């Protein structure tokens, strides 16, 4: 499970929303090349507000992502597509659920169960 994450705030220029959305979709292949990037989401939060949220297996992986192809490409188009530079906010995850697995970080009293849901039960 991932403990480290990155929350990136983006504000698109009103006339560049479609271009930003296209850019974000085209960024996925570069992110897929990063072994330490475990999850990556790009989403629209409001009319001109977009967010990228990704998780990493280590702090070093998060740091490597910040130096990687996807972030470099974002920096190259930021002046054209965004109102202001992207805001990169490193965060440490406290709890998460991904697929059928869930985990609370650094809580010795929480037990982790390997439960599966079976159709018809």
Query: Is 30 domain-assigned?
Result: yes
Residue 25 confidence class, pLDDT cut points 50, 70, 90: very high
Map tokens 């990037």 to a residue: 37
Query: Is 66 domain-assigned?
Result: yes
Domain range holding 31? 4-93
| Range from 7-11, 92-96, 100-104, 113-117 carrying the lowest mean pLDDT | 113-117
**Domain at 77, CATH number:** 3.30.70.100
Q: pLDDT tens for residues 33-58?
A: 999 999 999 999 999 999 999 999 89
Rounded Cα distance between 53 and 90, Å, is 10
Rounded Cα distance between 76 and 89, Å, is 19
Rounded Cα distance between 40 and 56, Å, is 9
Mean pLDDT for 64-75 is 95
Query: Is 100 domain-assigned?
Result: no
Query: Is 45 domain-assigned?
Result: yes
Q: String of b and e for 73-96 (b: at least 16 CB within 10 Å)? A: ebeeeeeebbeeebeeeeeeeeeb
The pTM of the full predicted model, rounded to 2 decimals, is 0.80
Residue 105 has a pLDDT of: 55
Strand, coil or helix: what is 70?
Answer: helix
Residue 66 has a pLDDT of: 95
């Amino acid at each position: 499970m991932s403990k480290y994450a990155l929350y990136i705030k983006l504000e698109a220029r009103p006339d560049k929303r479609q271009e930003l959305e296209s850019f974000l979709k085209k960024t996925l292949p570069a992110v897929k090349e990063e072994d330490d990037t475990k999850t990556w989401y790009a989403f629209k939060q409001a009319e001109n507000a977009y967010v990228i949220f990704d998780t990493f297996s280590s702090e070093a992986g998060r740091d490597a992502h910040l130096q990687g192809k996807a972030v470099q490409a974002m920096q190259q188009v930021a002046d054209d597509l965004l109102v202001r530079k992207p805001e990169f906010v490193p965060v440490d995850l406290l709890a998460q659920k991904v697929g059928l697995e869930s985990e609370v970080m650094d809580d010795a009293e929480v037990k982790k169960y390997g439960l599966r849901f079976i159709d018809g039960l």
